[in-house]
Amino acid sequence: MGIYLFISILIIIACVIQVLVVLVQDSKGGGLAANFNTSGQSMGVRKTADFLEKSTWVLAASILFLCIIVTAAIPRDNAAQQSRIQTQIDNAVDPNAVPVLPSIPVTTDEE
């Protein structure tokens, strides 16, 4: 249960970071990169856009990978947990079965 919870928290954190990275980007090439107009910077307009795009892809791939891993880490206890559908199937009554009614003894007046 511990690894399942840990990976689930990692997925939530990666999703929040992914949302923030996508919101920083601008679909027309602006966004955070539009604020850096000086050409002498080490991380200028082009590098910021490249970094945001690469981080988007890395986060998307990591979310996919973590989702696959968390599927394998789902806690399973076959003895304790049974499907509700299977329980209903086991307890179902056949609708075509003829009900067995108690027989009433017939008494005659000939005694």
Domain boundaries, the chain: 2-35+44-73
Kindly report the pTM of this predicted structure.
Answer: 0.55
- In this prediction, residue 6 carries a pLDDT of 93
**What is the C-alpha to C-alpha distance for residues 49 and 70, in angstroms, rounded to an integer?**
31
**What is the C-alpha to C-alpha distance for residues 45 and 33, in angstroms, rounded to an integer?**
5
pLDDT in tens, 69-109: 999 888 777 655 667 888 888 888 777 777 777 777 777 77
pLDDT in tens, 13-68: 999 999 999 888 866 655 555 555 555 444 555 677 788 889 999 999 999 999 99
Q: Which residue has the tokens 């880490």?
A: 73
**What is the C-alpha to C-alpha distance for residues 78 and 86, in angstroms, rounded to an integer?**
13
Reported in sequence order, the residue ranges of 1-111 that DSSP labels E, i.e. its strands, are: none
